[in-house]
Amino acid sequence: MSYNTFGHLFRVTTWGESHGPALGATVDGCPPGIEISEEFIQVFLDRRRPGQSKMTTQRQEPDRVKILSGTFEGRTTGTPIQLMIENTDQRSKDYGEIARQFRPGHADLAYHQKYGIRDYRGGGRSSARETAARVAAGGVAQAVLKALVPGLRITGYMVQMGVKQISRERFDRDEILRNPFFIPDAAVVDEWADYLEAVRKNQNSVGAMIEVVAEGCPPGLGAPIYAKMDSDLAAAMMSINAVKAVEIGEGMAAAGLTGAENADEIRMGPSGPVYETNHAGGILGGITTGQPIVLRFAVKPTSSILTPRRSIDVAGNEVEVITKGRHDPCVGIRAVPVAEAMMACVILDHLLLDRGQTGGVRGRIG
Amino acid sequence: MSYNTFGHLFRVTTWGESHGPALGATVDGCPPGIEISEEFIQVFLDRRRPGQSKMTTQRQEPDRVKILSGTFEGRTTGTPIQLMIENTDQRSKDYGEIARQFRPGHADLAYHQKYGIRDYRGGGRSSARETAARVAAGGVAQAVLKALVPGLRITGYMVQMGVKQISRERFDRDEILRNPFFIPDAAVVDEWADYLEAVRKNQNSVGAMIEVVAEGCPPGLGAPIYAKMDSDLAAAMMSINAVKAVEIGEGMAAAGLTGAENADEIRMGPSGPVYETNHAGGILGGITTGQPIVLRFAVKPTSSILTPRRSIDVAGNEVEVITKGRHDPCVGIRAVPVAEAMMACVILDHLLLDRGQTGGVRGRIG
Amino acid sequence: MSYNTFGHLFRVTTWGESHGPALGATVDGCPPGIEISEEFIQVFLDRRRPGQSKMTTQRQEPDRVKILSGTFEGRTTGTPIQLMIENTDQRSKDYGEIARQFRPGHADLAYHQKYGIRDYRGGGRSSARETAARVAAGGVAQAVLKALVPGLRITGYMVQMGVKQISRERFDRDEILRNPFFIPDAAVVDEWADYLEAVRKNQNSVGAMIEVVAEGCPPGLGAPIYAKMDSDLAAAMMSINAVKAVEIGEGMAAAGLTGAENADEIRMGPSGPVYETNHAGGILGGITTGQPIVLRFAVKPTSSILTPRRSIDVAGNEVEVITKGRHDPCVGIRAVPVAEAMMACVILDHLLLDRGQTGGVRGRIG
Amino acid sequence: MSYNTFGHLFRVTTWGESHGPALGATVDGCPPGIEISEEFIQVFLDRRRPGQSKMTTQRQEPDRVKILSGTFEGRTTGTPIQLMIENTDQRSKDYGEIARQFRPGHADLAYHQKYGIRDYRGGGRSSARETAARVAAGGVAQAVLKALVPGLRITGYMVQMGVKQISRERFDRDEILRNPFFIPDAAVVDEWADYLEAVRKNQNSVGAMIEVVAEGCPPGLGAPIYAKMDSDLAAAMMSINAVKAVEIGEGMAAAGLTGAENADEIRMGPSGPVYETNHAGGILGGITTGQPIVLRFAVKPTSSILTPRRSIDVAGNEVEVITKGRHDPCVGIRAVPVAEAMMACVILDHLLLDRGQTGGVRGRIG
C-alpha cells in the first residue's frame, strides 16, 4: 500500500506528481479557531521556491498555495484543510529516453519494479517537488504552534556542503536568511558559492548536512515506546528525498563517548529543572526534556548529473544516462525549509497527542 | 497517548515493566499456517539474555517465552499471538533513593514530568528490559520470513565500542556468535574485553555502533512517501533504548560525496538488474532495490554508572546520584539481537503491505 | 481530532465544505495499473447529482470530477489519486439568520459546541454535499473491483419511503435506474411521486430505508475481530448523513427468531459449499461467506423543512427556525448511490487487506 | 490482516482462544494517575460470568482477571495495561467430529476458507469467550470515566428475547441486576424464564434485543466525518459475536417519520441548551449533544443447538451437525455487560480524542 500520510492526530496527506496539473496536502486534525491565511503559508513556500539563484534548479514556479477547505473567515474550523499548488512550468517535451531508461541514484527502477508503471515525467511522485506540499502543511502547523506555544522557534540551516563546513564559532542566526545556502556563517558564503559553481560546471553535484533546532519546546512531548519524539523525527527526516542519515544530540559521536562524558547533569533552576549540558539533544526516553531539540541529517548528492552513468532501460539494454534538465547541484539546500516544516508537524502532532492522553498536565517538582 | 505498537499490517504491541510480574508482546496480523514454536523463538531470546558474561548485566533471567495464543498444532492461525516472559529476578529491595531521585541520562525526569507518576523500579517501562519483548516478536517475524522469503538473512554485529573499531578486512561472519560482543573480527576480541573491563572498573560505560545487514531481501518493498523502508527502519532503530543516530548506506558520509561518486551504476545481469555498487544501502526512493539493506546506528553509553553525577529529586533538592545495581557497561552489545528483531519485523511488515497493494507482482525488465 | 479518512489499505480522505470553492477526495492505497478515467467516475456522480427532478434539491451543480494526480496514461500508478469537484452554485446570499441560529435536527449546535466555530453556509462540512466526494472515491473503487473481481455487482435501492413500501414480489432490478427513487418496483413509482409531492407541499419531509446488495463477493473477506466486514460496513453506512440504523441479513428481526429458523444450512455444490438460505446476509464471524451481502439502513427525514421549529441562537435567545432554501424532501433517495460507493470502498479495502495477510489463498474443501 | 485492536487513542487489543491457556486484553493509551485495581475490574467480569444460572452456559469459569502491567501502587502509569484471564475449564475431550465439520451459523467454514487453518476447540478465536477480554478492558475504561466524567452512567438491559418484550411503562432500573436476564421489568422475569426453559428443552435457542443508554455524557464528543460517535458505536456493537443490527435513537423507525415529527426542538435551559425530545438518540452530525445516548442492537439466536442441521465437512461430505456441549440458549443475555464495556471504551476514546484536538473547550452559548 502506498502510505502518503504522516502524523497521528495532526495528519498530513500529500498528493501530486512533478508534472501533473497540481499537487498539494490534505491536512486533517488541525485544531479549530486558529488564525490562518494563504499569505502566512506562502512565506514558507517562498523560502523553498526554486529558481531563486543559480544555486538551485532554474525551474520557474510561483508555487502559489490555495486553501480550498477547512477555514472560515480567516480561522481554521477543525475540518480538513486542502492546500493546492498548481504546476505551471511543466515544460512539455519529448520524454522518449527518460521514459524507457532508469536514472542511477533515482527511484525510477525501484518504482518500475514495485508498481509496474510509473509517471516518468520529472520523476513523477518521487520528485523532490512533493516537498512543496510538506512545506505548505508545515505552514499550517507553524500557525497552530504560534497560537499554542508562542515561545517555540524552529530553525534549520546547513552545516556542511560537500567538503565545506561552517564554523560554529561564527554562528549567526540572522545570517541564515541572507544567503542562498541557509548557512549561519557569513564568512564562508562566497567560498561555498564558488565551490558549488565549480561542482556544477564540472557536471557534478554534492551532498549536504542540515541541522534543525527547536527552542522553547515544552517538556513531556513524545509517545513511548514506538512514537518517541526522536523516533518520529527520524522517520520524518528520513522520508525527505535523498536523506540517508539522521542523528539527535551527540548522534553518531555518542558511540565514542563514556557515560561520565555523556550524562547531562541536572540542577534546580528558578522555574524548574535545568540541564547543565544537552548531549541528549533535548530528548530522553523519547520524551522532550524542555531543552532545545537538536537534530542533524545528511542529504546525498543530487543524482541528476550531466556526467554519463551506466544503467539499463526497460528492455534490459545497457545504456549510458546523462540527466539533462534543470537540477539543483545540491538538493540539500532546499531541504532546509522542508525539514523545518516536518519538525513543526511532528512537534504539533505530539502536542495534540500529549494533550489527548495526559491532558497536558505536568508532574510537579518540589 | 502512549504508543506501544509498531507496524502497519504485522503489528507488534509490547507491554510490561522491568520489575512487574511479566512482560511480553501481542503480535497481530501474522499470516496463518506458519510453523512456529516456543523453542524457535527462544533461540533469539537466548542471544540477548543478560548474565551470560561479565560484559553484560549480572541480572540472572532465564527469559523463557510462553505462547499464550494464536497458534494451533504448531502453526499460526492468523489470530493474535500473545508472547509472555515472566520476570523472575526482580530483587525486592529498598528503592527509597531512586524512588525520589532522577538519574541523569535516564528517562526518570521526563516520565515524571509527562505522566506525573512512574514505576521507578529498574526504570519501569523505560528499561531496556522492554527489548526482550521485541526480540520475541522478532522471532515470530523470522519464522514467517523463513517460510515466505527463504533466501533472506539478517545479520547484526558491532563495528565500534567506545574508541575501539573492527577491521573490515578481517570481517568474518562466523565469528559473530563466537564472542560476547557480536563482532565479526576475532583478532580484537581480547582487546575489546580488556578495554570494557577497564571501563567497568573505572565505574564508567561506553557507547557503541552496530551494523545490521539484510541480504536476499526482494526488490519493491517500502511504501512511499511516508512509510518508506528507510523511514520505517530509522523509526524502528531510533525507538530502541539509548539509540541516538541511524544511517543507511553511505549515511552521514553522503554529505561529503559528489553525485558521480555516489551513483550506483546499473547493468543487466542474468536474472535481472544488477547494481555495480551499493552506496544507497539497498534502498532508493524508499523502496528496496534487491541489494543488501545496510544500516548502522549509534548507541549512547549506559547512563547507569557508579561515578557520581549531579541531579535533583522530586522535591527539587539538588543531589548526587550514583546508580548502583547490575548494569551493562555497554548497552550496545545487547542492542544487536534487538536490532535484528526490529529489522525482521519491518521487512515482514512491508512484504505484507506490498502484497496487499500490488499483489507482490513486479514490473518486468526486458 | 477530526477523522476524515476511512479505510485500512484503500484509504479515502474527503475534504471540503458545502459552499467552499471545491470539495473532493484523496484516495491513497489504490492498486497500480488499473484503467481509470474521469468519464468512468462521472457516471456514478451523475447518479447522485441534485436538480434532476423535483424529488431532489433544485440546487444545480454539474458536479464535474477532475483527477489531479495518481494516474498516468489512463491507468492508476499506485500513488494518491486526488479527485476534485468544484462548487459552482453557491448562491451568495445573506446568511444572517442561519449564521446565528441552530437548525433543529442538524449538526449546527453540535459543531458550535465542539469547535466553537463553524462554516454555517449550507451546513459547511456537515452538509450532505460531502457525499459527492464519497461517490467519486467509490468510482475509483468500482474501477479496481471491475478489474480484480469481474463478477462482483453492487446494487442499492429504496425499499421504503415514509409510509410507502415496495413489493418484493414485483422486484425488478432493471427498473431501479428508470425512476427518480431508485426503486425496483415500477408499479409504485407514481404513487410514491404523489406521496412525496404531498409531503413537500405540506412543508414537510420523510425518512427512507435503503437496501444494498453485493453479489459475487468472494468468501474470506473481513478482518476479525474489530474490522469485521459487517462491523466496517455498519460504520461506513452510519457515517452517511442522517443514517440512524444499519442491519445485515435478518437484522433486527433476528431478535425474534429461533436458532433452528436462523441457521443457514450448508450443502456441497459443484464449485464448493452452498448455503441453503442467507439469514446471515453473506457474513459469518465477520467474514464473507460468498453469498450475497445484504444490508439495509434507515435514513431520517430531512431536517430542513419550512414548518417552523423552536430552537435557540448563539446568544441563547429562543427563536423559531424555518429552513428556507433548496432541500430534498427525502434525503434517502440520494443516499442510494452514496451507499453503493461506501460498500465498494469497504469491499475493496478488505480484498487488499486479505491479500496482505493471507495472500488471498483459500482453505480447500474436499 | 487480522484486526484485533479497536479505538483511536484508547486502544484495546484482545487476544486468546476459547480453549487456549489464557485470553486477555492489552490496553494502550490509558491516561496516567487513575485509581484502578483487579477488584474493580472483576466486578464487571462477574456480571458476564457463565454458569450463574441455567439461563447461561454451564461452563464453570472463575474468570479472574490479573493486571500484569501498566499500574503502579494502585494507579495507572500511562503505559500499556495487560489484562490476563486464565482459562481453567477447557474440558479436554475428543473434538474429532467438530474438528472436521463446519457448524451452521458459526464462523467455522468462513475461518477455514479464509485462513486455511482454525482452532476448532470451542470455536477458537471466534468464540464469544473473547468478549471476557472486552469486559475487562471496559472495566479500565469505567475506572477512567469515573475519574474524568463523574456524572456518566452507562446502563444496558434486554428489551426483547425471542417473542417476549418488556413493558416500557414498568421500566425499573434497580431491577436490572436482580434478575438473570438484565431486564428492567420485574413483572415478566418468571414468564421469560419459563419461555427460555421451554426453548432450551426444545433443543432450540432464541435471539434478543439489547438497549444501552449513556446518561451524563458531555456534548461535543465524536470525530466527524468517519469516526462519528454513532459510526464508532455501530462498529463496536456489530463487532460483538452474533450481532446483526444496530440502531441509534429512532433507528429503523426513522424511515417512517416526517421531518416535523423527528425534529428535536431546542430551548434554553438554566445551564445551557435543552432538547425537548431525543429522537436523535443523543447524537447529531456524529457529535454528542449532551442528551442520553440511546442505542439498540439485535443478537441472533445461538447457533449451537441440539436440533440437527445439515452441513458439510472439510472433505466436502454432507453431514448432519448436532452441537452438543454447554451453550447459552440465548447469547443475547451475556451481551449486555459486553455492550456496556464497548460503549465505555468508545466514549472514553472520544473524550481523549476531543481533548487532543479541541482541548475539550466548548463553544459558548449566550
Q: What is the 3-state secondary structure (H, E, C) of B156-220?
A: EEEEEECCEECCCCCCCHHHHHHCCCCCCCHHHHHHHHHHHHHHHHCCCCECEEEEEEEECCCCC
Q: Say how far apart CA B341 and CA B140 lie, in whole Å.
A: 9
D361/D120 Cα distance (integer angstroms): 50
pLDDT at residue A94 tops 80: no
C-alpha cell at C250: 435478518
> What's the CA gap between D360 and D366, in Å, rounded?
19
pLDDT tens digits for range B227-279 = 999 999 999 999 999 999 999 999 999 999 999 999 899 999 998 899 999 99
Chain B hits for A260, CB-CB cut-off 8 Å, are 204, 305, 307, 309
pLDDT higher than threshold 80 for residue A253: yes
User: Please, what is the average pLDDT of chain C?
Assistant: 93
Sequence-distant (6+) residues with CB within 8 A of C199 are C162, C205, C206, C329, C330, D258
The full DSSP string for A130-168 is GHHHHHHHHHHHHHHHHHH-TT-EEEEEEEEETTEE--S
CB contact (8 A) between residue A356 and residue D353:
yes
Comparing CA positions, the residue from B107, B82, B109, B115 lying closest to residue B1 is B115
The residue among A3, A72, A87, A127 with the most chain C CBs within 10 A of its CB, best to mutate, is A72
- Looking at the domain assignment, is residue B366 inside a domain? no
Which chains have 3 or more CB–CB distances shorter than 8 Å to chain C? A, B, D
User: What are the residues whose beta carbons fall under 8 Å from the beta carbon of C150, sequence distance 6 or more?
Assistant: none
Q: Which of C103, C307, C131, C244 is nearest to D259 (CA)?
A: C307
In angstroms, rounded to a whole number, what is the distance separating the alpha carbons of residues C302 and A198?
A: 70
For C145-193, the pLDDT digits (tens) are 999 999 999 999 999 999 999 999 999 999 999 999 999 999 999 999 9
DSSP-assigned letters across all residues of B91-124:
-----HHHHHB--TTSSHHHHHHHHS----GGGG
Number of domains within chain D: 1
Mean pLDDT confidence for D68-97: 88
- Of A57, A103, A316, A110, the C-alpha closest to B259 is A103
Residue A261 pLDDT exceeds 50: yes
Given an 8 Å threshold on Cβ–Cβ distance, is B356 in contact with C356?
Answer: yes
The pLDDT of residue D1 is: 47
Classify residue B363: in a domain, yes or no: no
Q: What is the mean pLDDT of residues A115-137?
A: 94
B13-50: per-residue pLDDT in tens? 999 999 999 999 999 999 999 999 999 999 999 987 76
C357 CB neighbours in chain B (<8 A) are: 9, 29, 31-32, 78, 352, 356
DSSP B231-244: HHHHHHHHTSTTEE
Q: Which residues are CB-contacts of B224 (< 8 A; sequence separation ≥ 6)? A: A2, A3, A4, A107, A125, A126, B285, B286, B287, C79
Range of the domain at D190: 5-358
The pLDDT assigned to A306 comes to 87
Of D9, D29, D119, the CB nearest to B72: D119
Give the DSSP per-residue string, D3-55: B-EE-SSSEEEEEE-TTSSEEEEEEESPPTT-B--HHHHHHHHHHH-SSSSTT
Contacts of D78 in chain A (CB under 8 A): 357-358
Cβ atoms of C255 and D298 closer than 8 Å:
yes
Q: What is the DSSP-derived secondary structure letter of residue B49?
A: -
Q: Which residues of chain B have a CB within 8 Å of the CB of A336?
A: none
Q: Is the pLDDT of residue C1 over 50?
A: no
State pTM to two decimals.
Answer: 0.97
Min CA distance, B23 vs chain A (Å)?
Answer: 14
CB A265 within 8 A of CB A283: no
Local confidence band at D187 (pLDDT 50, 70, 90 cut-offs) = very high
Residues of chain D above pLDDT 70, percent:
94
Chain B and chain D share a number of CB contacts under 8 A equal to 158
Q: Residue A364 falls within a domain, yes or no?
A: no
Asked if residue C69 belongs to a known ligand binding site, the reply is no
Do B78 and D15 count as a contact with CB atoms less than 8 A apart?
Answer: no
- Chains in contact with D via at least 3 Cβ–Cβ pairs below 8 Å: A, B, C
C-alpha cell at A215: 527552542
Phi, psi dihedral angles at D201 (to 5 degrees): -60, -35
D3, D26, D83: best mutation site toward chain B, by most B Cβ within 10 Å? Answer: D26
Cis peptide before A240 (omega within 30 of 0): no
Which residue, A137, A139, A141, A132, is CA-closest to A44?
Answer: A139
Chains near A with 3+ CB pairs less than 8 A apart are: B, C, D
Cα separation of D157 and B100, whole Å?
48
Distance from CA of B221 to the nearest CA of C (A): 13
Contact call for C6 and D226, based on CB within 8 A:
yes
Q: What is the pLDDT of residues D307-320, one digit of tens each?
A: 899 999 999 999 99
C-alpha cell at C365: 474443501
Binary contact (A72, C117; C-beta < 8 A):
yes
Residue D254 Cα, gap to closest chain B Cα (Å)? 38
Give the minimum alpha-carbon distance from B82 to chain D in angstroms, rounded to a whole number. Answer: 7
Res D94: pLDDT: 63
For chain B, the chains sharing at least 3 beta-carbon pairs closer than 8 angstroms are A, C, D
Q: Which residues contact A122 (CB under 8 A, 6 or more apart)?
A: A17, A18, A19, A90, A129, A325
* pLDDT on residue C306: 86
Residue C300 lies in a domain: yes
Who's near B90: CB < 8 A, 6+ residues apart?
B18, B19, B20, B121, B122
The nearest CA of chain B is from the CA of D33 a distance in Å of: 6
Interface test with chain D among A221, A355, A362, A364, by most D beta carbons within 10 Å: A355
Helix (H) or strand (E) holding C296: strand C293-299
Indicate if the pLDDT at residue C93 is higher than 70.
no
ipTM over 0.90: yes
Specify the pLDDT at position B361: 83
pLDDT at A1: 47
CA A95 to chain centre: 29
CATH code for the domain in which residue D157 is found: 3.60.150.10
Contacts of A257 in chain B (CB under 8 A): 162, 206-207, 300-301
C68·A115 Cβ contact <8 A:
no
Mean pLDDT of D132-160: 98
Give the per-residue pLDDT at D249: 98
Q: How far is CA C80 from the centre of its chain?
A: 22
Q: Which residue of D has its CA nearest to B35?
A: D117
Say if residues A27 and A16 touch (Cβ distance below 8 Å): no
CB contact under 8 A, B111 and A6: no
Q: Do B77 and D24 touch (CB under 8 A)?
A: no
C89 or C349, which is more confident?
A: C349
Residue A53 lies in a domain: yes
Measured in angstroms, the CA of B73 and the nearest CA of chain A are apart by: 32
Q: How confident is the model at residue A282 (pLDDT cuts 50, 70, 90)?
A: very high
**Hey, which residues does C218 pair with through a beta bridge?**
none
In a domain, C364, yes or no: no
In the numeric block, which cell numbers belong to residue A221? 512531548
Q: Is the Cβ–Cβ distance between C251 and C261 less than 8 Å?
A: no
Task: Mark yes or no for CB contact B246/A265 under 8 Å.
Answer: no
Yes or no: say if A257 and A246 are a contact pair by the CB < 8 Å rule. Answer: no
User: Which among C23, C81, C352 has CB closest to A1?
Assistant: C352
Residue D105 has pLDDT above 60, yes or no: yes
